[in-house]
Amino acid sequence: MIVQGQPYRTVSQDGPEVRLIDQPLLPHRFQVVSLHHHTQTARAISEMVVRGAGAIGATAAAGMAQAALEAPEVGFHDYLAEAARTLSGTRPTAQNLFWAIGRVLDAVAGEAPRHAREAAVAEARAVADEDAAACEAIGRHGAPLIRHGARVSTHCNAGWLAFVDWGSALSPLYRAQREGRRAFVWVDETRPRSQGARLTAWELAQEGVDCAIIADNAAGALMARGEVDLVITGADRVAANGDVANKIGTYSSAAVARLLGIPFYVALPSSTLDLSCPSGAEIPIEERSQDEVLYTWGWSDEGRFVRVRTAPPGARARNLAFDVTPGAWITGLITERGIFPATSEGVRQAAAAPQA
């Protein structure tokens, strides 16, 4: 996608060098970091220089390719196994991480070092290219939902910064804009980590998509006032019955949309479908540090990145990172294979369909 007029991917690789957009610096500084060793790449994942399922997977695969280029002739496969352990240990709950590392390991299995190096680099590239292609296809399938002048509500960041390119929830908007239909986006700031205000507002602005940030509290009221035509969010996991786990706050937004009859879509690559999970009730919900709620992080007037505390000394907080929206409240699942109902039948079809 476009940053300051130039095309960028969230993650890219050039031989032994992995390049990442440094996300903690956004939106106040745009900077690409170069990583020259797989252990640097692992640290970048654990320190959340990169976040978002698709982007984490591609970064881990690129780290494995780095390791293949670094590994000595003697003990090549041991070196790769050790690198896989290092990279896997960075974000213990990221499904995409293990999957991407496994793909590179499978590609080099049984190969002699020279061929294995080529295979690792090719497989890492394939992981990234497939992620970008899936997100681009999500945009093609979702774009017809966006009419010119549509007012779209979104939550958190399910844009290209969370993937290699295009994104999930925002991809239909980028596609529609290229097709000449301009939309307007209400960006939920997405407390407590402010991914909407920090990342979504920034990447929409880079692409020239008009938007305004709102307190999460205002999303429902804007729907009630008739100022929202449709809602599109991403998903962290979709259960076999169509229930969707996504960033905390998605549920409330879906509840209001349900009561008012406003279309509510969830966009995701089919790798987010989890057929082994029968329903939302079985999706474990991460609880994170109280400090994320008790404090807010941002840039001071002097340009320093600092935190401020709004809560009283000694107060405690509860910090659920995700919630589960019933499939029955979801108008459709926008995938790289088309749009499917958020039902058992729809999820089965989406998981089985060829890429359209």
Question: For binding to its own copies (CB under 8 A), which residues are involved?
Answer: 26-28, 186, 189-192, 194, 197-198, 201-202, 205, 211-222, 224, 247-249, 251-253, 255-256, 258-259, 293-301, 306-320, 323-324
If the CB atoms of residues 34 and 217 are measured against its own copies, the closer one turns out to be 217
DSSP 3-state assignment of 249? coil
Closest distance to its own copies from the beta carbon of 157 (Å)? 12
Nearer to its own copies (CB atom), residue 300 or residue 355: 300
The least CB distance from residue 106 to its own copies, in Å, is 38
DSSP-based three-state secondary structure for 236? coil
Pick the closer one to its own copies by CB: 17 or 291. Answer: 291
Q: State the number of CA atoms in the 13 A half-sphere of 109 facing the CB.
A: 7
Helix H or strand E segment including 258: helix 250-260
Give me 204's structure tokens: 């929409």
Identify the active-site residue in 131, 188, 236, 323: 236
Please report, for residues 94, 101, 285, the alpha-carbon distance to residue 40 in angstroms, rounded to integers and kept in the order given. Answer: 18, 16, 29
CB of 220 to its own copies, least distance (A): 3
Q: Are 238 and 282 in contact (CB under 8 A)?
A: no
Please indicate whether residue 236 is annotated as part of the active site. yes
Amino acid identity of 15? G
Among positive and negative, which fits the CA dihedral 244, 316, 190, 4?
negative
Q: Specify the residue, 7 or 316, whose C-beta has the smaller distance to its own copies.
A: 316
Q: How far is the CB of 278 from its own copies (least distance, A)?
A: 18
Nearer to its own copies, 218 or 351 (CB): 218
End-to-end CA distance of the chain: 22
CB of 237 to its own copies, least distance (A): 15
For its own copies, the closer CB: 133 or 213: 213
In 217-280 the beta strands, taken as DSSP E runs, fall at: 230-233, 237-239, 244-247, 264-267, 273-274
Closest separation between CB of residue 349 and its own copies, Å? 27
Between the alpha carbon of residue 203 and those of residues 120, 196, 350, the distances in Å are 31, 10, 28
Query: For residue 337, which of 319, 324, 349, 355 has the smallest C-alpha distance?
Result: 355
Helix (H, G, I), strand (E, B) or coil at 252: helix
* Residues forming the active site: 236
